[in-house]
Each structure stands twice: as structure tokens, then as C-alpha cells.
């Protein structure tokens, strides 16, 4: 199906956010989505008051490109072992990599360890509430700083993860998928849609994210369960198929990522340094295996030792 020449809602631009996506549109979206969230939100440990800002931060690192069901057991083990940033900061970074297990993208473990060290040294062990201070922590980008400030401290910030971007792309802009990378126009749209009240804005951030995770999904969306289906620009346009740049896939089998994962698994399970021969057994292709190992060393995930030995990093 092709898109109509004139969608039922104008597409927002940098100079036209007031008519297409300003306070009036935001007001029509906020209440139904927030009410839906109140009835349908999942009971997740990082949403409970006892999680605190550190629990929220840990969850945000772990949930990047990783589904909730894989994160839950690792998150609970992590917080049981390191209930405060100082607890993690006192351990070797390699222990963070070991505890990360098979969540994937293990550089996140090193970045979270680095953030814990900085929080301990700069902020007395308490995750800062100030957005600029959060953004200044190592490993913390625009999204994570906004998410922690919003979800942990109830502040008013646009929180743009993949789920939120997809909800806004469909409901407001009338397209099936957002661009591959977050654009200035998306940020401006998200800011324009923020409720003025801080607590309502924080609730909106969580609610729109949950809507994208459970209802307005990338595939097999459940429009019949959507609280804003009646005003969704994409649905009203007949759900035109995506006609932008190809969406990036998440291939894994046979990639350097898979080889890196196998090499790290050997090191995580070892109680001491591992010899080259043990690493050689995990992958048959020597050039790719060597490239993957070199990449792990360059990323600080593996520490080479004399005599052809390797271990998880101690410093």
C-alpha cells in the first residue's frame, strides 16, 4: 500500500511543531496513554520505589538492545551483589564483565563500572539528580541521562528510546518507523509533546515507552489495544509501508560478535588466566578469531599477559 499524498495530520517540521505537535496534540495523547499505563504497566523491579536511582541506572544500561526477559535475572543478581555504586566501584572491572554474563554488548558492563567509579569519587556514592551531572558521567549518553533523571527523580525530560520514537513516528508523523538514527526533528517533537508538569512528564515518558514495548511494536502491532488508535496518523493513513532507508538488521551467527562472545565466555568461566590454546578451540577460523580477540583487547574487555595468557581486566 502506498502513502496518500496528503496525510490526515501534517508532518511536523522544524518550523511547524505548534500546529502539528504542540500542546493541543500533546493534551490529546497524554491522558489516554497515561491511563492505559496505569492499568497495563508491567511490574518490573526497577520501577519499584526500593530500586532507587542506582537500580534505574543499572536497568537502563542492561536494557539497551536487550529484551526484558533476559535482563531480569542478571539485574537481580547484580543488585544483590552491588546494591550501591561504591560496591561495584570497589571491584575490578573484569568482575563486571563476568557478572554481565550473556547479555551481549559487554562494553556496557565496563561503562557501568566506570560510571560507578565516577559516582563514588565525584558524588559520594549517590547517583546525581542533576541532568548535566548525569550526562558528565562516563558511559552516560543523552538517552540514559534523561531516563535516569525522569524515571528515578521524576524530572521533565524527553526520553527517546526506540519504542518511544516508534510511537511518535506512527501516532504523530504518520510513518511506520522512525529514522535509523535519532534526528533533531524527533528531539524537537518530543520536547513539544512533553507535559508541563514534571511528574506528569515523567509518567508520560514511562507510559509512551511501555506502549511501544507492548502494543505499538515493531512487528505485529496491536492497534485494537492501543488507547490512541483513533487519532494515530499512521493508522488513519491506512498504515503505509515503510519507504525510507532499509532498517538495520541484527545479524549474529557467524559474525565477529559471536566469536567475541565465545571468547569472553571462556574467560568468564575461568578462575585464572587462560592460555591461547583454550581460546583457539572456540572458533575454527583463525583470522576471524584473532581479529575478535584483538578487538576485545582494544576495547579493554580482555587483558593480555606474558606467555600467551589472557584474563578479564583487573584495572
- Residues marked as catalytic: 60
Phi, psi of 118, deg, nearest 5? -65, -40
Closest to 63 (Cα-Cα) out of 84, 44, 85: 44
Grid coordinates representing 267 are 574467560
By CB atoms closer than 10 A (0-12, 13-18, 19+), residue 66 is middle
Instruction: Measure the CA–CA gap between 23 and 20, rounded to whole angstroms.
Output: 9
Between strands 303-305 and 274-275, the pairing is unpaired
- Residue 259 in contact with residue 286, Cβ under 8 Å? no
* Region at 254 (left for phi over 0; alpha for psi -120 to 50; beta for the rest): left
How far apart CA 137 and CA 23 sit, in angstroms, is 33
As a whole number of angstroms, the distance between CA 59 and CA 33 comes to: 23
Distance of CA 85 to the CA centre of its chain: 20
Q: How far is the CA of 46 from the CAs of 38, 41, 60, 96, 179, in angstroms?
A: 16, 12, 9, 19, 29
Listed in sequence order, the residues at least 6 apart from 299 whose beta carbon sits closer than 8 Å to its beta carbon are: 107, 110
Amino acid at each position: 500500500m502506498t502513502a496518500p499524498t496528503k496525510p490526515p495530520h501534517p508532518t511536523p517540521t522544524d518550523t511547524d511543531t505548534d500546529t502539528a505537535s504542540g500542546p493541543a496534540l500533546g493534551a490529546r495523547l497524554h491522558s489516554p496513554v497515561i491511563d492505559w499505563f496505569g492499568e497495563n504497566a508491567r511490574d518490573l523491579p526497577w520501577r519499584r520505589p526500593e530500586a532507587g536511582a542506582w537500580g534505574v541506572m543499572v536497568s537502563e544500561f542492561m536494557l539497551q538492545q536487550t529484551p526484558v526477559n533476559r535482563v531480569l535475572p542478571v539485574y537481580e543478581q547484580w543488585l544483590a551483589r552491588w546494591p550501591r555504586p561504591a560496591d561495584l566501584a570497589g571491584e575490578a572491572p573484569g568482575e563486571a564483565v563476568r557478572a554481565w554474563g550473556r547479555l551481549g554488548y559487554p562494553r556496557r558492563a565496563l561503562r557501568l563500572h566506570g560510571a560507578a567509579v565516577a559516582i563514588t569519587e565525584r558524588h559520594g556514592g549517590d547517583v546525581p539528580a542533576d541532568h548535566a551531572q548525569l550526562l558528565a558521567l562516563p558511559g552516560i549518553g543523552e538517552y540514559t541521562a534523561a531516563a535516569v533523571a525522569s524515571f528515578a527523580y521524576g524530572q521533565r525530560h524527553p526520553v527517546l528510546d526506540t519504542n518511544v520514537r516508534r510511537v511518535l513516528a506512527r501516532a504523530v508523523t504518520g510513518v511506520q518507523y522512525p529514522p535509523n538514527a535519532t534526528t533533531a526533528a524527533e528531539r524537537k517533537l518530543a520536547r513539544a509533546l512533553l507535559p508541563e508538569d514534571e511528574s506528569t512528564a515523567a509518567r508520560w515518558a514511562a507510559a509512551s515507552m511501555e506502549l511501544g514495548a507492548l502494543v505499538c511494536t515493531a512487528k505485529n502491532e496491536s492497534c485494537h489495544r492501543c488507547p490512541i488508535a483513533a487519532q494515530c496518523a499512521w493508522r488513519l493513513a491506512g498504515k503505509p509501508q515503510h519507504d525510507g532507508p532499509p532498517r538495520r538488521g541484527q545479524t549474529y551467527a557467524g559474525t565477529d560478535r559471536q566469536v567475541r562472545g565465545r571468547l569472553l565466555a571462556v574467560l568468564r568461566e575461568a578462575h585464572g588466566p587462560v592460555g591461547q590454546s583454550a581460546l583457539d578451540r572456540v572458533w575454527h577460523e583463525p583470522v576471524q578469531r584473532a581479529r575478535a580477540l584483538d578487538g576485545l583487547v582494544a576495547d579493554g574487555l580482555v587483558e593480555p599477559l606474558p606467555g600467551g595468557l589472557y584474563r578479564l581486566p583487573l584495572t
